[in-house]
Structure 1
Amino acid sequence: MERKFPNLSKPIQIGNVFFRNRMFGAPMGGTDITADCTVGPKSTAFYELRAKGGAATVTVSELVVHPKTEASHMFHLDLQTVGSLASFTYTADAIRRHGAIPSVELSHSGQYAGTYLVDKEKKESLSQWGPSAGIRPDGREVKELTEELIQEIVAAYGEKAALAKKAGFEMVMVHGGHGWLINQFLSPYFNKRTDGYGGSLTNRVRFAMEVLDSVRKAVGPGFPIEFRMSGSELFEGGYELAEGVEIAKLLEDKIDLLHISAGTYQRGFGVTHPSMFLPHGVNVYLAEEIKKHVKVPVATIGALNDPEMMEEIIASGKADVVEMARALLADPELPRKVMTNREEYIIPCLRCYTCMAERATTSTRRCTVNPLIGREMDGMEVTPAAQRKKVLVVGGGPGGLQAAYTAARRGHEVVLCDKNDQVGGILIGEKAIPFKYEMYQLGERLGRLAEEAGVTIRLNTEVDRATAEKEGADAVIIAVGSEPIVPKIPGLDGENVIVVTDYHEKQDQVKDSVVVLGGGLAGAEIAIHFAREGKRVSLVEMNSELAPDANIRHRPLLLQEVDKSGIAVYTGHKGMKVSTEGVVCMDASGKEILIAGETVICALGQKARRAVVEELYNVAPNVAVVGDCSRVSNITAAIYQGHHAALDI
């Protein structure tokens, strides 16, 4: 077979272990960590799903090596806790039986212990330890690790590595980046020690070297050790790339794979885990430079999901391995699709941070575009229905497409009708905003998958009651979505006004100065887009804050983009009238002011298309309503509801 991506698909030997391709599953924390910090069965299934999808390795994250000084609620591994070793053994088994190499990330958060705790009171009670004493920006005291404790932690790395090997893991990753403990020792910003672990670069690297020596002694020769480090800390006071090169050179003889990431968790979240506002592969340059100075294989990471880009990275020698985390949540089968030349069917990661936001707010793991994530034990396979039925899906947005795709895979005869000339629903408009283009691709790819599964798609077809009844379906899934809210504000129907969902059809009508009326997620994002185009932008919101509908990971980065884009923000301003000169608003004091702009974008939210739902509700024995036409929400809800509506038939 001739592979379209031969370098990406090529096996690689690291240590004494052979990996089936160059696409590695980067660490991502599990979905259910038990009260005893063992790997719950849902987490085992979570990791197994990525192994089934063809990744060369799947890395379990994070195994806290020394709970005495790092009491975070992450995975622990010991012989004293009943079920601890067994949980890791079953997880390694689940990964390995699909041909992937099981790996586990050995970690210590240092002064950031408790980062993932939802219980903030418990977080406050933890002791945070670091290379040096001090006070964190949030006011928490940091205690300096004594040399005795340092040696305990060094030994603990080896002990956990040995137990991981005993459990069946065939590689370990030592986490030395992102602001965690090893990185804190490496960093001149965090490390102010004056003993043998501080000061010169050689001294600051000493802790990492001792940890790696401890791990090597525990696992023996030939057992792959992957070391994850930040190529640069990317903030003032931290080490830069030149020093990152020197760190790599000092450590390379002790490791088998050098994994180059970027930044620190606390001072660059949106760069370490690149947001939609950054280019894909934004951190590859760090691995590329470090690879020039070391002989050990180098892995790169950071918003990588495009096979052509990843192939070029390997082919040009920028890195030997590409690692993905979020991309493999969105589509666990991405590696298999690459290997079988089916890249046009890859479901793209939206970089929306749902996966990380849910972890922080509900202690669960979810994915906007993959309804299985966090729910793998409900069934990772779509099983055929006992009886084949005819299913009519009304609406080709994300919920309707997912419903049609799932129903077709169950063996049903599925017809999907949509009033537009292409599928995607509300996602169609995202093709006009470059940093949201993956959302447009999502609709396109789901449509392609649905057709491949046997769905008959009828475009330019609006379904009324008579049409639906004529179809004679056994089940109808209503997914007609939402429509824009356009209040009866004088002038809001003017020629200079564009509703945000129509922008993709009217891009050439937008003038050089723009007023975006509505500061929710959609309004804020399109304002950023206009600012990037060089337009003068004003963003008007009647409430006191912008984008309250954005999740807790995306929102801070969104607000940063608004700030640095030079957008004039008017919170507490209510639109009263629109004219050719702009929008007349009333401020919090009741004073009217004109916010000037040649073009006005109406981004005042969406409302469910309930009239269509009511018309179609009784057209078949079984009717389900999914997505925005049920209740205006988000893509995550639409995809999940559509998937399960199809499973219920």
Structure 2
Amino acid sequence: MQRKYPNLCKSIKIGNVHFRNRMFSAPMGGTDITADCTIGRASTAFYELRAKGGAAAVTVSEVVVHPETEGSHMFHLDLKTVGSLASFTYTADAIRRHGAIPSVELSHSGQYAGTYLTDKDKKGGLAQWGPSDGVRPDGLRVKALTEEVIVDIVAAYGICAGIAKRAGFEMIMIHGGHGWLINQFLSPYFNHRTDKYGGSLENRVRLAQEVIDSVREAVGPGFPIEFRMSGSELFDGGYDLAEGVEIAKLLESRIDLLHVSAGTYQRGFSITHPSMFVPHGCNVYLAAEIKKHVSVPVATLGGLNDPAMMEEIIASGKADVVEMARALLADHELPRKVMSNRDEDIVKCLRCFTCMAERAATSTRRCTVNPLIGRELDGTEVIPSAHPCKVLVAGGGPGGLKAAITAAKRGHKVILCEMTDELGGILKGEQALPFKYEMYQLGVTLGKLAEDAGVEIRLNTTVTKDYVEKENVDALIIAVGSEPLVPPIPGLDGDNVVVVNDYYLKQDKVSDKVVVLGGGLAGCEVAIHLAKEGKVVQLVEMRSELAPDANIRHRPILLKEIEMNKIHVHTGYKGLRVTEEGVVCADAYGEHLVPGTTVICALGQRARRTVVEELIDCAPYVIQIGDCVSASTITTAIYQGYHAALDI
């Protein structure tokens, strides 16, 4: 077979272990963590899904090696806790039986213990330990580890590694990046010690070397050890790439794979996990430079989801392995699709941070585009129906498309009607925003998958009660979505006004001075786009804060972009009327003119309830999904669409 991406699909030997391709599943924390910090069944299924999808390695994250000094509620692995060894054994087996190599990440958060606790107040009850005494930015005191305790922590890494090998794991990853304990020792910003663990680079690297040696003694020669490091801390006071190279050179003889990430907890979440506002692969340069100076294989990562880009990374020698986390949530079958030349079928990650926001908010996982994530035990197989029937889906947005694809896979005869001339629903508008173009692509990909599944697609077709009765269907899925909210503000129907949903059709009408009326997620994102184009942008919001509808991971990044792009923000402003000069607004102090020759109306969406009410009794089985129920998110629409089809 001629592989479209031969370098990406090529096997690699690391240590004494063979990996089936160069696509690894990067560490992702489990969410089904028991009270005893063992791996729950849901987390086992979560990791297994990546193995089923063709990843060469799947890394379980994170195992706290020394709970005595790091009491976070993350995975622990020991022989004392009933169920601990068994839970890791079942997980390793679940990964390995699909041909992937099970790996486990050993970690210690140091002075950032408790970061992933849902109840953030509990961090205050944890002892925060680091290389040096100090105070965290949030006021928590940090105590310097004694040499005696360091010796105990080093030994704990080896003990955990040995138990992991016993459980069936075939690779160990040591977390030495992102501002966690080992990184804190490597960093001149955190490490102010004057003993053998501080001062010179050789001293600051000592803990990492001792940890690796401890793990090596436990697992033996040939057993792959992957060391994860930040190529650069990327903030003033931290180590830079040049020093990152030297760190790598001091570690390479002890390890089998060098995993080069970026940034630290101190620098910011969006550096380590690149957001939609930065290019894919923006951190690859770190691995590429370090690889020039070491002989050990190097892995890279950072917002990677395009097989062509990943192929180039391997082919050009920038790295030997590419690792993905979010991309394999969005499409767990990405590696299998690459291996079988079906890359056009890949559902790409949107970098919307729903996955990480959900973990922080509810201690679960969810993915905007993959309804299986975090719910793998609910059933990952689409089972053919014993009684195929005729299904009509009204609406060609993401929810309707997902419902149609799923129903067709079950063997039903599916007709999907879309009232416009293009599929995608609200996603069509995203094609005008470069940093959200993958949301537009989602609609295109789902449309292709629907056609491939045998769905009959009828464009420019409005579904009415008469239409449904004429088709005589057994099931009707109503996915007619929402429509823009345009309140009766004088002048809002003027020629200088563009509704945000229509911006992609009317970009040429937008002048260089713009007022965005509405500071929710849609308004903020279009404002950022316009500002990046060089326009003077005024952002008006009636509430006291911007983008309350954005998730807790995306929102801080969004607000930073607004600040960086010098957008003029007016909160607490209520729009009264639109004129040729801009929008007249009122606040507690009176009326004000917010100047601009174009106005973008981004005041939200409302469900198309009138359409729903007409169709609600038109078939034996009727279900309404997505925005037509209540204006919500792509996540909700796709999840509801998938399960609506399973229920037929």
Q: How does 1:182-221 map to 2 (within 5 A)?
A: 182-221=182-221
Cα displacement string for residues 91-137 of structure 1 (whole angstroms, at most 9, x for unaligned residues): 00000000000000000000000111112332211101000010000
Amino acid of the residue matched to residue 112 of structure 1? Y
Once residues 344 and 394 of structure 1 are traced to their aligned partners in structure 2, the CA distance between those partners, rounded to angstroms, is 26
Post-superposition offset of 1:232: 0.4
Q: Which whole-Å deviations, capped at 9, do the CAs of 1:379-426 have from their partners, x for residues lacking one?
A: 111111121011100001111011001111111111000012111100
Specify the code of the residue in structure 2 equivalent to 1:211.
V
Q: 1:148, 1:473 → 2: CA distance?
A: 74
> How much does 1:81 deviate?
0.6
- Tell me whether 1:636 sits opposite 2:639 in the alignment: no
* Corresponding residue of 2:346: 346
Q: 1:157-168, aligned counterparts within 5 Å? A: 157-168=157-168
Count residues in correspondence. 648
Offset at 1:450?
1.2
- Select between 236-245 and 117-126 the one with higher mean Cα deviation: 117-126
Whole-angstrom CA distance in 2 between matches of 1:115 and 1:339: 37
Write the distance in 1 (CA, Å) between the matches of 2:78 and 2:473. Answer: 56
Aligned to 1:647: 646
**In structure 1, distance between residues paired with 2:138 and 2:443:** 42
In the alignment, structure 1 residue 247 sits paired with structure 2 residue 247:
yes
1:31 to partner: Cα distance: 2.4
Is contact 1:402-1:642 (8 Å) kept? yes
Instruction: Tell me whether 1:603 sits opposite 2:599 in the alignment.
Output: no
Matched, 1:429 2:429: yes
Q: Retained in 2: the 8 A contact 1:234–1:268?
A: no
Q: How far does the alpha carbon of each residue in 1:491-520 deviate from its partner, in whole angstroms, 9 at most, with x for none?
A: 000001000000000111111111000000
Give the deviation of 1:464 after TM superposition: 1.0
Equivalent residue, structure 1, for 2:321: 321
Aligned to 2:67, the other structure's residue is in SS state coil
Q: Which residue of 2 aligns with 1:463?
A: 463
> Could you tell me which amino acid in structure 2 is paired with residue 279 of structure 1?
P
**What residue number does 1:32 align with?**
32
Separation (CA, whole Å) in 2 of partners of 1:31 and 1:407: 30
The whole-number CA distance in structure 2 between the counterparts of 1:341 and 1:476 is: 35
Structure-1 separation of matches of 2:129 and 2:340: 48
Please show how residues 404-415 of structure 1 align to structure 2 within 5 Å: 404-415=404-415
Distance 1:500 1:336 in 2: 38
4+ runs deviating over 4 angstroms = none
CA distance in 1, matches of 2:569, 2:120: 32
Cα distance in 2, alignment partners of residues 480 and 586 from structure 1: 35
CA distance in 1, matches of 2:50, 2:114: 27
Q: Are 1:623 and 2:612 an aligned pair? A: no
Q: Which amino acid aligns with 1:176?
A: G
For residues 38 and 308 of structure 2, the distance between their equivalents in structure 1, rounded to whole angstroms, comes to: 38
Q: CA deviation at 1:530?
A: 0.2
1:261-280 CA deviation, whole Å, 9 max, x = no partner?
Answer: 00012422101000001100
Q: CA deviation at 1:230?
A: 0.2
Q: Distance in 1 between matches of 2:391 and 2:137?
A: 56
- Provide the C-alpha distance between the structure 2 equivalents of 1:316 and 1:129, rounded to a whole number of angstroms: 42
Q: How does 1:365-514 map to 2 (within 5 A)?
A: 365-514=365-514
Contact 1:401 1:447 (C-alpha < 8 Å) held by counterparts: yes
Q: Is the 8 A contact 1:331 1:346 kept in 2?
A: yes
Aligned counterparts of 1:524 and 1:119: Cα–Cα separation in 2: 29
Counterpart of 1:331 in structure 2 is 331
Tell me which residue corresponds to 1:310: 310
Residues in 1 aligned to 2:344 and 2:120: alpha-carbon distance in whole angstroms: 44
Query: Is 1:176 aligned to 2:176, yes or no?
Result: yes
AA in 1 matched with 2:463:
V
User: Which letter does structure 2 place at the counterpart of 1:615?
Assistant: E
- SS in structure 2 of the partner of residue 89 of structure 1: helix
Structure 2: 5+ residue stretches without partners: none
Report Cα offsets for 1:449-472 as digits up to 9, x if no partner.
111111111111111111111111
Structure 2 distance, partners of 1:329, 1:420, is 31
1:70-81 aligned within 5 A: 70-81=70-81
Specify the alignment match of 1:557 in structure 2.
557
Q: Which amino acid aligns with 1:225?
A: I
Pairwise mapping of residues 279-298 of structure 1 onto structure 2 (< 5 A)? 279-298=279-298
- Which letter does structure 2 place at the counterpart of 1:423? L
Gapped regions of structure 1 (runs ≥ 5): none
SS at structure 2 position matched to 1:415: strand
Equivalent position SS for 1:546:
coil
d(CA) in 2 for partners of 1:266 and 1:187?
11
Cα separation, 2, equivalents of 1:245 and 1:266: 20
Contact 1:515 1:596 in 2 (8 A): yes
Instruction: State the 1:540 CA deviation.
Output: 0.3
CA–CA distance in structure 2, aligned partners of residues 219 and 339 of structure 1: 32
Superposition deviation, residue 593 in structure 1:
1.1
- Other-structure match for 1:523: 523
Partner deviation per Cα, 1:534-578 (whole Å, 9 max, x = no partner): 001000001110000001000000000000101000001111110
Instruction: Quote the Cα distance in structure 2 between the aligned partners of 1:121 and 1:292.
Output: 45
Counterpart-to-counterpart distance in 1, 2:582 and 2:516: 10
Question: In the alignment, residue 402 of structure 2 is paired with which amino acid?
Answer: Q
Paired with 2:546 and 2:282, the residues of 1 have a C-alpha distance of: 27
Q: How does 1:108-127 map to 2 (within 5 A)?
A: 108-127=108-127
Amino acid at match of 2:626: G
- Give TM-score scaled by structure 2 length: 1.00
Counterpart code for 2:446: L
Q: Is 1:50 aligned to residue 34 of structure 2?
A: no
Q: Structure 2: how far apart are the matches of 1:85 and 1:528?
A: 49
Contact 1:10–1:20 (CA under 8 A) maintained in structure 2: yes
Matches of 2:474 and 2:265, distance apart in 1: 51
Q: 8 Å contact 1:70–1:108 — kept in the other structure? A: yes
Offset, 1:592: 1.1
CA distance in 2, matches of 1:458, 1:611: 22
Alignment partners' CA distance in 1, 2:522 and 2:491: 21
Q: How many Å apart are 1:587 and its aligned residue?
A: 2.0
Q: CA deviation at 1:55?
A: 0.4
Tell me which amino acid in the other structure corresponds to 1:460.
N
Task: Spell out, residue by residue over 1:181-220, the C-alpha distance to the aligned partner (whole angstroms, 9 max, x if none).
Answer: 0000000001010100001100000000000000001000
Separation (CA, whole Å) in 2 of partners of 1:286 and 1:229 = 11
Query: 1:180: how far off?
Result: 0.3
Cα distance between partner residues in 2 of 1:401 and 1:334: 20
Q: RMSD of aligned C-alpha atoms?
A: 0.6
For the residues of structure 2 that align with 1:446 and 1:110, how far apart are their CA atoms? 44
Q: Distance in 1 between matches of 2:309 and 2:64?
A: 34
- Aligned AA for 2:86? A
Which letter does structure 2 place at the counterpart of 1:85? L
TM-score by length of 1: 0.99
How far is the alpha carbon of 1:447 from its aligned partner? 1.1
- Structure-2 separation of matches of 1:426 and 1:266: 37
Aligned counterparts, 1:132-143, within 5 A:
132-143=132-143
Match of 2:15 in 1: 15
Give deviations 1:43-66, integer Å, cap 9, x for gaps. 000000000000000000001100
What one-letter code is carried by the residue in structure 1 that aligns with 2:126?
L
CA distance in 2, matches of 1:519, 1:255: 49
Mapped partners of 1:23, 1:467: distance in 2: 48
My pick for the range that moved more, 377-386 or 104-113, is 377-386
Structure 2 Cα separation of the partners of residues 259 and 622 of structure 1: 51
Letter paired with 1:636:
T
Provide the C-alpha distance between the structure 2 equivalents of 1:197 and 1:525, rounded to a whole number of angstroms.
Answer: 46
Give the conservation status (yes or no) of the 8 Å contact 1:32–1:43.
yes
Matched residue type, 2:634: I
